[in-house]
């Protein structure tokens, strides 16, 4: 009886973790210290604390904390590059993303650009990626995996919907006259956040 109960507890614990996987929730870029630095805020969800955050190009790597959000500061001298992001949790699950800032002028720091992730469930195409760009005036280009969404050209935000669990490369850019051209591209993965039970639901009542 003890062996059966222990097995149920272990399976329930595994299933709860499987249904709440470590994932990116939001990546935000803002200017700091009189535009001498670019702040990159990494927000995650799921997984098991503590979390270890790493952003290539910063002197504060890595950061280990129980918090689901960490902000790194990139000097503008190194901001205009390709940066690797990784986050791992206490169970050694790891997620990774790529931030491409190589097409930003070194003297140009966005006031606020963000990439927000809503992950799909139950194998459905219910995921979303919302990109906001409060930095440049229209026309602003938003694209996902190289395909532009023309309906968003005059908007400060754009939502790509009906997405399945897969890696996606989301981009916002501007070439408006009188503004310095810039491109920000983030490649990250949407994951399925369904609760995958490996035991009967009656034994796993925790939501």
Question: Which tens digit of pLDDT belongs to each residue from 17-45?
Answer: 556 999 999 999 988 776 678 899 999 99
Question: Which tens digit of pLDDT belongs to each residue from 147-201?
Answer: 999 889 888 899 999 999 999 999 998 765 445 567 899 999 999 998 543 333 3
Q: Which residue has the higher pLDDT, 182 or 141?
A: 141
- How much is the pTM? 0.82
Distance CA 38, CA 43 (A): 16
Distance CA 144, CA 131 (A): 10
User: Which range is least confidently modeled, 12-16, 25-29, 134-138, 177-181?
Assistant: 12-16
122 strand-pairing partners: none
Distance CA 182, CA 180 (A): 6
Give the model's pLDDT for residue 104: 72
What length is written for the chain? 207
Which is it for the CA torsion 27, 66, 205, 9, positive or negative? Answer: positive
189 strand-pairing partners: 167
Q: Which residue has the higher pLDDT, 97 or 138?
A: 97
Question: Which tens digit of pLDDT belongs to each residue from 65-92?
Answer: 999 999 998 887 777 789 999 999 999 9
Of the pLDDT bands very low, low, confident and very high (cuts 50, 70, 90), residue 207 is very low
Angular region, 33: left φ>0, alpha ψ -120 to 50, beta rest: left
Let me know: does 40 contact 55? Beta carbons within 8 Å: yes
Give the model's pLDDT for residue 18: 56
Local structure of 61: helix, strand or coil: coil
């Amino acid at each position: 009886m003890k062996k059966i109960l222990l097995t149920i507890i272990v399976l329930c614990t595994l299933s709860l973790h499987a249904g709440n996987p470590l994932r990116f929730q939001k990546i935000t870029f803002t200017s700091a210290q009189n535009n001498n630095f670019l702040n990159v805020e990494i927000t995650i969800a799921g997984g098991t604390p503590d979390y270890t955050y790493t952003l290539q190009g910063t002197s504060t790597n890595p950061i280990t904390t129980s918090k689901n959000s960490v902000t790194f500061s990139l000097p503008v001298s190194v901001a205009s590059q390709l940066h690797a992001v990784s986050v791992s949790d206490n169970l050694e699950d790891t997620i990774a993303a790529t931030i491409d800032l190589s097409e930003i002028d070194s003297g140009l720091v966005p006031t606020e650009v963000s990439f927000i992730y809503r992950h799909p469930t139950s194998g459905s195409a219910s995921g979303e990626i919302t990109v906001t760009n409060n930095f440049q005036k229209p026309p602003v280009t938003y694209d996902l995996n190289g395909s532009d969404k023309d309906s968003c050209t005059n908007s400060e935000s754009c939502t790509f919907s009906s997405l399945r669990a897969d890696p996606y490369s989301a981009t916002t850019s501007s070439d408006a006259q009188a503004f310095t051209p810039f491109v920000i591209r983030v490649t990250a993965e949407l994951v399925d956040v369904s609760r995958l039970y490996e035991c009967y639901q009656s034994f796993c009542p925790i939501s």
